[in-house]
């Protein structure tokens, strides 16, 4: 897998593959088995014990790290399925008291979410990893502040641990004292930064079929809310893909779909099951495939147009969208 090879070549570290939220909406049952066979991937990371159990049940043998903490009702599953929780609260330690469960410790160096403050040192023989999380990797000054703060914490621990703070974007800092990178978005070929120095490629294309082609007269409204009115006679295509499939509504009247490389503007509001595009002079027919994400447009491109982040759009891809491995 090229992306894994390139990421490891750049960082010179093994990868903790982040496959939470159904592998960012792509389909964890397709992604995880492929990653398990790669020696560069040493562990997996998911959000919850439930996601971890699902990975075990599909045959994943490598370490599975639970990023989202521990709830009382999850402790037995964590133990039974040999999952590795991340401890970031005193209550997590209480729940694991007397349990033969290895865990990672998380520190809050500036994310303001999960994690201990730097003045707390956990003494426990079950600790196998120490981690933190960069809040704004594009901000070099603050990221270096977090990296230095985390280094001072790591120095207080004696022993051999998985040490990780670098994300898909944070990998650019090549932190010298960490042992692993924790990569999600970049695995799937989406660049987290505009000038990303690593040669990664998208792992998927997202396509939909045209279910109707029609001409409408001037001044004819299009879709719910009549947010678009035809300025002249138009030829439009109705594509069987809407916000129920993952194309967020904020792309209405501003985003594009593609046919054989030609840009087709989205006109009118995106609806649950359908999106309408201006076909112009394109020779689109009923049954043709329209590209939502592919060589012409990444999830990042869609996200910039929608005023959001690629993660949100990827995670919105619904289960009714058929996945096919090529």
> Which of these, 277, 279, 166, lies nearest to 222 by C-alpha position?
277
Q: Which of 20, 106, 191, 207 is catalytic?
A: 20
Q: Which of 174, 177, 224, 233 is catalytic?
A: 224
Residue spans of beta strands (DSSP E) within the chain:
14-18, 41-46, 63-66, 84-87, 103-106, 127-131, 162-164, 180-183, 206-216, 221-222, 228-229, 234-239, 256-259, 262-265, 275-278, 289-293
CB atoms within 10 A of CB 268: 23
224 is catalytic: yes
Handedness of CA 78, 79, 81, 87 (dihedral sign): positive
Contact 286, 212 (CB under 8 A): yes
**228-229 and 221-222 beta bridge pairing:** antiparallel
In whole angstroms, give the CA distance from residue 75 to residue 158. Answer: 27
20 labelled catalytic: yes
Angle at 326 between CA 12 and CA 310, to 5 degrees: 60
The Cα 81–Cα 59 span in angstroms is 11
Residues that are catalytic:
20, 224
């Amino acid at each position: 897998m090229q992306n894994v090879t390139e990421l490891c070549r750049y960082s010179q570290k093994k990868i903790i593959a982040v496959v939470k939220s159904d592998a960012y909406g792509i389909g964890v049952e397709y992604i995880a088995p492929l990653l398990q066979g790669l020696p560069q991937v040493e562990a997996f990371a998911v959000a919850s014990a439930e996601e971890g159990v699902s990975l075990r049940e599909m045959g994943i043998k490598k370490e599975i790290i639970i990023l989202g903490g521990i709830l009382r009702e999850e402790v037995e599953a964590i133990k039974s399925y040999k999952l590795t929780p991340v401890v970031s609260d005193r209550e997590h330690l209480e729940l694991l008291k007397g349990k033969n469960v290895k865990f990672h410790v998380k520190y809050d160096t500036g994310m303001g979410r999960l994690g201990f403050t730097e003045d707390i040192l956990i003494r426990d023989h079950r600790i196998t990893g120490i981690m933190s999380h960069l809040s704004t990797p594009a901000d070099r000054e603050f990221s270096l502040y977090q990296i230095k703060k985390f280094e001072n914490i790591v120095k207080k621990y004696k022993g051999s641990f998985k040490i990780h703070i670098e994300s898909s974007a944070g990998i650019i800092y090549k932190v010298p004292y960490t042992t692993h990178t924790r990569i999600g978005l970049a695995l799937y070929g989406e660049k987290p930064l505009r000038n990303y120095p690593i040669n990664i490629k998208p792992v998927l294309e997202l396509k939909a079929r045209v279910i109707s082609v029609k001409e409408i007269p001037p001044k004819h409204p299009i879709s719910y809310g009549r947010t678009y009115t035809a300025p002249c006679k138009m030829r439009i295509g109705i594509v069987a893909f809407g916000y129920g499939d993952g194309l967020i509504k904020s792309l209405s009247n501003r985003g594009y779909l593609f046919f054989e490389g030609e840009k087709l503007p989205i006109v009118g509001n995106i609806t649950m099951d359908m999106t309408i595009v201006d076909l112009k002079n394109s020779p689109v027919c009923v049954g043709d495939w329209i590209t939502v994400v592919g060589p012409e447009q990444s999830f990042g491109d869609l996200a910039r147009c929608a005023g959001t982040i690629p993660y949100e759009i990827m995670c919105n891809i619904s289960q009714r969208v058929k996945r096919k491995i090529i």
